[in-house]
Structure 1
Amino acid sequence: MTPTVLGTCPTCGSRVPVQQHVQPVQQPAPLPTYPVAPPPAAPARPARPARGLPVPSVPALLLGLGALCLLVAAVAFLAVAWSALGVGGRTAVLVGLTGATAALGAVLAGRGLRVAGESLSVVSLGLLVLDLVGAAGAGWLGEASGAGLACVVGVVVALASLAWLRTRLGAPQLVAPLGLGLAAVAAVELTAHPHVVATTATLLMAALVALGVVAGARLLPWAAGSGAALCWGWLALGGLVDAASYPTLAGLWAEGHALPLLTAALLLAAVAVLWRPALAGTTSILTLVAVLPALDEGGTSFGAAALAAVLGWALLGLATRSGGATVVRVPLAASAVASTCVLVVLVAEALDRLLLVAAPGTAGAAVRLPATTALAHPALAAASALALVVAYVAGTGRPVPPAAWVAAGVLGATTTAALLPVPLAVVVAVLAAAGLVGIGLVGIGSRPVAGVLLLAAVLVALPSQVLTLGALVALVGGCWLVRDRTEAAAVLPAALGASVWTALAVADVDPAVRGVPVLLALAALALLRPRPELEAVAAVTGTLAAALAVTEPTSLAVHLTVGGALVTVHALLVAQRRVVAWAGGLLLAAATWVRLAELGVSQPEAYTLPSALALLLVGVATLRRDPAAPTGPALTPGLLLATVPTLLWVLALDPVSLRAALLGLACLAMVLGGTALRWSAPVAVGWVVGLLLVVRELAPYAAATPQWILIGAAGTALTVVGVTWERRLGELRRAQAYVGRLR
């Protein structure tokens, strides 16, 4: 219970209870805590790079070196000590060393020391080879030597290697196919029947593969399989050479030269039992054997046979819906390659006939192709081209765009026509008509092909100017139909210029005046279709036409005038091409210069002042339209053109002359006038040109009084102007400072 506290009343002085307030105990504010950084971790030690050799490789190196030393020692023993031993000693040493190394290797391999077992197995097999060589040298193997000895060594080493299969060592598994291959190569020389040997070696290698699979060996199936593939390739290549050497029906079948290829096909068919894609090789070889007899009958027979093979396999693929299967696709591709070779030969022959029928522009419109015999029948070109498209569809299972059919048909038809003694106009008409039709067919993707056909028509028609004109007109029409495309817009000016030039050539117009109509036609085209690529090609074409037409200075001046006028008109009529007006002005000025040079005028001012005056008028007009525009870009070109050529003439040829005096007065006028108008360009140009002129006048031979008087007067005037300018500039600065101090 809390006791009552009495206090004195401030009014009456009596004792009254006072309410007691208990103040809570103030807890001290907690001290601020700051995060304590953990102690820095000790830097991790960088891993020390491994030095030296990996541990597992050390015994391999040591044992490999030991095996090599043992074999070298064995060879040295045979070379040095063989003749000193008797028959018994020789036999004991050879058999003992070979048996000891083989037994030791087998024991070590059985105890898990595979590296040692591998090394000793190689040593034992090497010693076995030396045993056989020594036995042959001692006469124990009868007459075996050379190829016979190699065959014996290969067979024995292969059999000895197979004895190591139960140890699962890798080296003997690799040596067995090598020994069998050595025996096969040696057997060719012994039997003179390479195809029989290759077949036998292939079968034996296949047997090794089966043995390795049954025994659970890891390397033997792969090594023997590689050997079987090499032996089969040997058989197939040799059979192909043999069959191609005797491609007739009698040579292939009656004389048996097709037997190696048929054997190779049969072996692949056997492999197809386990690996089905191998059946494609069988079908390909059988197709080749069927087509080869036609090769001896001439190009027509071979082309027809290849065409039949392509169509046969293509139809089989389409009928069975297995065009993408390897068994159909591989022989189809091989047949297509043969048919393509025939087509390429026919196309090359057709091009030779078309391009060499006559020199460009020398033949008439009725020129005919020569009546020469083609390598194969011309009809094979069209048939082969279409068959190749069919083969693509059958082999890939995907449809081709209509443009591919159009291109194949036109290529075949054109080649066929070119191989016949027909008028050249027929070929040109076929190409041009196909190109125009291809451009007109919208939506099938034939326009790029059509463009190529039109260009080909122009090239083919070059021997005749009339035919060339017709092809060019077709090209112009085709480009105009698709003029919105960039490539068509780029080709159209060149085609139009060439067609106008060719038309004038057909009309027998003088070449010196052909350039102007070409320029007019190109200018009209550029106005109708003002596109950058079209205008650029038109400029190049016009320049080329003018260069071909110019024969004298007057003709050059005419073409420059026409070109400058057309460029200027184009710049005025096309708002986006205002900048090319400068090029037009330069062309017109160049035309004036050429004409003045032809008239014998040699003073530079006659060439420069008219153009400079035109430039200055344009610059002044620009400054009047825009008073805030800088004077440098507007006036500097005209001022430089008006003064620099004369300055160069004065500096090089005539420093003390009326021309120099007039140039000095002009510089003085530019400086004073520019100062008065507050234009920087006249002041800068007049100052620089006048400075160079005054420096040139300091030469000893230029001490004439009038020149010095002029220079002195100019210097005085410039000094006065400079002082006045500086004084006014100072007054302006003081006035600015006074205004700045006002409050």
Structure 2
Amino acid sequence: MEHVPPPAEELALLDRELAQLDARRAHLLARRAWLVDVVRAQVPAAPPWGQWGAPPAGRPPAQPWGVAARHPAPSAPRSAQNVLLTLGGLLLTVAAVAFTLVSWGSMGIAGRSAVLALVTLAALAAPALLLRRKLGATAEALAALALVLTLLDAYAVHAVAAPDTDGLAFTAGAAAVLAALWAGYGLALDKLHLPLPAAVFFAQWPLLLGAWAAGAPAIVVGWALLATAVLDGALALWGKGLGVRVTAGIGLAVTGSAALLVGLAQSLTADGPLGAVLPGALLLTAAVAALAGAWHAPNGFAQVGGAVAGLAAVAAVGGVLRTAVPDTWHVPAYLLCGLALLYVVRVRLPRGAGLGVLLAAGAVVAGALVWALPPVAAVLLGPVRLVAEVWAGAPEGFRGALGESMAWSRAAGAPVVLAVVAGVLGAAYRWWPSLVRAAAPLLSPGAKVRGAAGAGALGLGWGAVLLAAATLGVPYPAAVVLETALVAGLLVVAVQGAGTAGSTGEGSGSGGGRSAVTVCALVGAVVGAVSVGLLSLAVEAATYAVFGALLVLFAGAALLTRAVVAQAVFAVAAVVWGTVLTGCAARSLGLAPHEAAPLLLVVPALTVALGARLRLHPVALPVELAGALGALVAVGAAVPDAPFLALVLALCGVLAAGAAVRPERRPAAGYLAAVLFVAATWVRLAASEVSVPEAYTLPVTVPALVVGVLRRRKDPEASSWTAYGPGLAATLLPSLAVAWTDPDWVRPLLLGVAALVITLLGARYRLQALLLLGGAVLALDTLHELAPYVVQVAGALPRWLPPALAGLLLLAVGATYEQRLRDARRLKDIVGRMR
């Protein structure tokens, strides 16, 4: 309960709190007044209005400092200054270039040297004087001019003093001199932002251009690039100023990538282990440098450095191993090197660097899987070609069943890749707690990661076995038995996992991640069953053996598992395999497709019976829908022959009616049964060349009217349109359409009598649908019959008589308009009160 103090105690409490608030407010106000005085003392007083004139009209007087600071003046003067300085520096630069290129030849050597030296020294000295006067922007502009002048000086020296010197060699030396010059200049005038980044830019070229000028081999060029990248990395980590670090970072990305590409290209084209040693040394050095940089870099850059280090190390060692093994085993060699990077979890590396090395290992494994998985897809999809050659005879070995489009000799290392990766993932799944403790400094894997590892181990192990059988060229019967056994094994894993996944949490104990393994086993079992089923189509006995075994395995799995989703998948698959078996039996009996259609309904009939047994079990609906799919296949098979199609539709209607006996299936199955029976009747009539429309419509009308009568008995308030409208319209409207084109008198007479009876019944029992439908059809039918006579009479009458009669009719209606309106409203009310 909440304690409420007495009024006197609460009043004293409030007074103490208010006193504390007042003291705090007084302290803040005193502090604010002191700060205002300090700020005002630092800002020169504005000139009085008397000196500059009165303030403009509509302009408020000057605000105190605290108020004016809220609305700072625009920075247009600074922007204008920058524009002017930039434009001035650009004009001076253009003038210097023009002088060097155009007016150079009109002066002697001494004069030219003196002018360039004087201008360059002046441009270099001016920023120091400007910085003393706090004119930083102007100093930056002149420093940029000095930078251009030093480039022109280098060009002038090469053109005059050393014209015969190799251009690349001279450029390398000039870049080194300029880098040193601008580095010293930038350190001396540390307030300038341009010199040090310019020095970093010039430092990118001496080693590269020097090696190029000397005609060094590619590996030497790679070392030059690597040395430059190391320098860039050091500057990016410890350089002075953001500009230096950004410029060095860009240089590191460019030169480092180029060095790695040179080393990788040399390693991949090496002819033997000795030839791969030098590129390997380059790559290993790059790996050490990247790891050292990652050790000191921020987290994001450290991950990049660790990944580069790992990939470079794999390329170095794997390149040497590649030259010692056949072509088929190149990828496994690199894979082993990539898996060796996983030992980083045992090394005390910074978190970012270690995580980058792990990412490099993952990239190597992913690349190896990309190379090894396409042959697995060829093994699984290869038997599709046997669909066009059912029971053509046993092929020559497993490869013969898969086709010769795959170069199996080149895929000999793929099963090894899959098996190794599956083993690593399986070990991680098995000893997950130990792995989590070891990898805790680098990452925090959860149960979902463990599940992915277990699922990957299961799927890759299955693919490795299949691919090994294909590459070894096992006999066809052995391949069929092997694939069937693998499906059985996957079903065992799926059943065991489904029986415990619902009760074992994803994140606790040994059950963490088991659901992913179960899903992988479930999907693999279904995919493997389809593959081995296709593979068995080559031989009749193999087909019956495989699909019979699949039926038993999946039905047993459906009975043993406790998870509803897995149970439904197993049951549906069992229904599909049973349907395939019935189709195979029809083929063995030599039946044509339309003759086999009734036999295909055996499995749908069993699913209807099984659904009645299961009742409201969640698996019942998927099983019955799978049976309905088999019935649809039977209907499609019977389409070429109308009598068989009518028979199959009627049998499907019987099955639907049997399902409609159950209350939970009645709404959908009842309508489906009616549609199937009607369709069967129509097909049968069409096959018998019956063209009378009533033969097609009456089988619909009679049951519909019976249903309507039952509906009205159960619900007297139901509308007559709902109960009788569809049934009556199904016969009356098609018959009326045919009667209008029928020259005989029998159909119009029978239709008119029927419409009259329906109209009278509607009036007698006050049923709106019967009255309006019957009356409309009767009127139209009568009009059709009287039309010839009306035309004949109209032709015998004088031309003036029809207009006269129309006028008299209009006068009569106009004279009694109000009475006719009351009669129409009364008729509307009477019809509206009908059901």
Please indicate the TM-score interval, normalised by the length of the shorter structure: 0.7 to 0.9
1:358 & 1:729 partners in 2: Cα distance? 73
Percent sequence identity is 27
How many residues are treated as equivalent by the alignment?
665
Q: 1:625 to 1:381 in 2, by over 3 A?
A: closer
1:434 matched to 2:516? The reply is no
**Map of 1:469 onto structure 2:** 547
- Cα distance in 1 for partners of 2:584, 2:138 equals 92
Residue 726 of structure 1 and its aligned partner are, at CA, apart by 6.0
Q: How far apart are the structure 1 equivalents of 2:238 and 2:343?
A: 43
**Cα deviation, residue 544, structure 1:** 2.3
Displacement of 1:524 in angstroms is 3.2
Paired amino acid for 1:191: A
Measure how far apart 1:667 and its partner are. Answer: 1.7
What secondary structure does 2:535 align onto? coil
1:86-114 superposed Cα distances (whole Å, 9 cap, x missing partner): 22222222122222222112221333222
CA contact (8 A) 1:161 1:172 kept: yes
TM-score normalised to the size of structure 2?
A: 0.71
Structure 2, unpaired ranges of 5+: 1-68, 401-407, 501-513, 538-542, 794-818, 831-835
Change (3 A) 1:414 1:471: farther
Larger mean CA deviation between 642-651 and 385-394 belongs to 385-394
Residues 412 and 74 from structure 1, CA distance in 2 versus in 1: closer, same or farther, beyond 3 angstroms? same
Shift of 1:448: 2.0
Structure 1 residues 128 and 313: alpha-carbon distance in aligned structure 2, compared to 1, 3 A threshold: closer
Shift of 1:681: 1.1
- Aligned 8 A contact 2:693 2:734 in 1: yes
Aligned alpha-carbon RMSD (Å): 3.9
Structure 2 counterpart of 1:294, from 296, 321, 340: 321
* Residues 42-64 of structure 1: CA deviation (Å, up to 9, x unaligned): xxxxx999998644322112111
* 1:181 counterpart letter in structure 2: Q
The equivalent position to 2:193 in structure 1, one of 170, 182, 190, is 170
- The Cα of 1:250 is off from its aligned counterpart by 2.4
> Hey, what's the Cα distance between the residues in 2 that align with 1:147 and 1:727?
108
Q: Structure 2 CA distance, aligned partners of 1:684 and 1:319?
A: 91
The alpha-carbon deviation at position 567 of structure 1 amounts to 1.0
Give, in angstroms, the shift of residue 124 of structure 1.
0.8
Is 1:666 equivalent to 2:758 in the alignment?
Answer: no
Structure 1 residue 412 corresponds to structure 2 residue 464: yes
Larger helix fraction of residues: 2
- Distance between the aligned counterparts of 1:427 and 1:550, measured in 2? 39
The alpha-carbon distance between structure 1 residues 292 and 471, as it changes in their structure 2 partners (threshold 3 A), is farther
Give, in whole Å, the separation in 2 of the partners of 1:322 and 1:336: 23
- Return closer, same or farther for 1:504/1:216 CA change in 2, 3 Å cut-off: closer
User: Is 1:179 matched with 2:202?
Assistant: yes
Alignment CA distance shift 1:70-1:235 (3 Å): same
Alignment CA distance shift 1:208-1:520 (3 Å): closer
Which residue of structure 1 lines up, in the alignment, with residue 48 of structure 2? Answer: none
Q: SS of 1:56's equivalent?
A: helix
- For the pair 1:558 / 2:639, whether they are aligned, the reply is no
Deviates more, 1:357-366 or 1:169-178: 357-366
- In structure 1, distance between residues paired with 2:130 and 2:201: 25
State the one-letter code of the partner of 1:516: P
Residue in structure 2 matched with residue 347 of structure 1 by the alignment: 376
Shift of 1:490: 6.3
Instruction: State the Cα distance separating 1:557 from its structure 2 match.
Output: 0.6
1:122, CA displacement in angstroms?
0.7
How far did residue 654 of structure 1 move?
1.0
Q: Is the 8 A contact 2:639 2:645 kept in 1?
A: yes
Structure 1 206/78 Cα, relative in aligned 2: closer, same or farther at 3 Å? same
With over 3 angstroms needed to count, the CA separation of the structure-2 counterparts of 1:489 and 1:519, relative to structure 1, is farther
8 Å contact kept, 1:332–1:391: no
1:295-340, Cα deviation, whole Å (9 max, x unpaired):
3422554355345435544467469999994486255335534543
Q: Does the alignment pair 1:654 with 2:676?
A: no
Corresponding residue of 2:251:
227
Structure 2 residue aligned with 1:515: 597
**Residues 143-176 of structure 1: per-residue CA shift (max 9 Å, x gap):** 2354234324423332332113222211112211
Match 1:156 to one of 139, 152, 177:
177
Shift of the 184–577 alpha-carbon distance from structure 1 to 2, 3 Å rule, reads farther
Q: Distance in 2 between matches of 1:454 and 1:262?
A: 45
What is the distance in 2 between the residues matched to 1:175 and 1:650?
99
**1:252 equivalenced with 2:341 (yes/no):** no
Which moved further from structure 2: 456-465 or 526-535? 526-535
User: Partner amino acid for 2:467?
Assistant: T
8 Å Cα contact 1:557/1:594 also seen in 2? yes
CA pair 58-545 structure 1, distance change in 2 beyond 3 A: farther
Query: Do 1:431 and 1:457's aligned partners in 2 also have CA atoms closer than 8 Å?
Result: no
Distance 1:575 1:514 in 2: 31
**Inter-CA distance 309–644: structure 2 relative to 1 (3 Å threshold):** same
Distance in 1 between residues matched to 2:241 and 2:179, nearest whole Å:
15
Whether 2:670 is the aligned partner of 1:581: answer yes
Superposed CA deviations along residues 243-272 of structure 1, whole A, max 9, x for unmatched, are 11105212123xx34332233234336546
Partner of 1:108: 130
Q: Provide the residue aligned with 1:44 in structure 2.
A: none
Amino acid at match of 1:432: V
2:94 counterpart SS class: helix
For 1:461, the aligned partner's letter is G
Amino acid across the alignment from 1:411: G
1:660 CA drift (Å):
1.2
The answer for unaligned runs of 5 or more in structure 1 is: 1-46, 706-721, 734-743
Alignment check: 8 A CA contact 1:500 1:517 kept:
no
- Which of 570, 582, 588 in structure 1 is aligned with 2:659? 570
Q: 1:447 to 1:64 in 2, by over 3 A?
A: same
Q: What amino acid is aligned across from residue 439 of structure 1 in structure 2?
A: A
Letter in 2 for 1:459: S
1:281 Cα deviation (Å)? 4.8
SS of 1:187's partner is helix
Give the 3 Å change call, closer, same or farther, for CA 604–355 of structure 1 in structure 2.
Answer: closer
In 1, the alpha carbon distance for the partners of 2:236 and 2:570 equals 69
The whole-number CA distance in structure 2 between the counterparts of 1:677 and 1:180 is 106
Letter paired with 2:525: L
Question: Residues 216 and 177 (structure 1 numbering): CA distance in 2 closer, same or farther, change over 3 Å?
Answer: closer
Instruction: Return the alpha-carbon distance in structure 2 between the equivalents of residues 111 and 209 of structure 1.
Output: 36
Superposed displacement of residue 553, structure 1 = 0.8
SS of the residue 2:83 aligns to? helix
How far 1:206 sits from its partner (Å)?
Answer: 5.1
Change (3 A) 1:413 1:243: same
Larger deviation, residues 459-468 vs 636-645: 459-468
CA contact (8 A) 1:389 1:408 kept: no
Given that 1:339 and 1:384 are in contact with CA atoms closer than 8 Å, whether structure 2 keeps it comes out as: no
Counterpart residue number, 1:74? 96
Which residue type is aligned with residue 655 of structure 2? L
Matches within 5 A, 1:525-536: 525-526=607-608, 527-528=611-612, 529=614, 531-536=620-625
Alpha-carbon distance in 1 for matches of 2:518, 2:493: 6
Secondary structure of the corresponding residue to residue 640 of structure 1: helix
Cα distance, 1:547 vs. partner? 0.4
Asked if 1:675 is matched to 2:788, the reply is: no
* Greater gyration radius: 1
How far apart, in 2, do the equivalents of 1:224 and 1:174 lie? 8
TM-score by length of 1: 0.79
Cα distance between partner residues in 2 of 1:317 and 1:505 = 56
Q: How many angstroms apart in 2 are the aligned matches of 1:334 and 1:579? A: 53
Secondary structure class of the residue paired with 1:618: helix
CA distance in 2 between partners of 1:633 and 1:697 (Å): 31
Paired amino acid for 1:240: L
Query: Could you tell me whether the CA contact under 8 Å between 2:226 and 2:286 is conserved in 1?
Result: no
Matches within 5 A, 1:487-526: 489=568, 492-493=571-572, 495-506=574-585, 508-509=588-589, 510=591, 511-526=593-608
Any idea what SS the aligned residue of 1:133 has? helix
Q: What's the CA shift string for 1:269-309, capped at 9, x where partnerless?
A: 65467458757755553343222233342255435534543
After TM superposition, the structure 1 = structure 2 runs for residues 603-614 of structure 1, keeping only pairs within 5 Å, are 603-614=692-703
Deviations 1:507-536 (A, max 9, x none): 613132333243342243143446555444
Name the counterpart of 1:362. Answer: 391
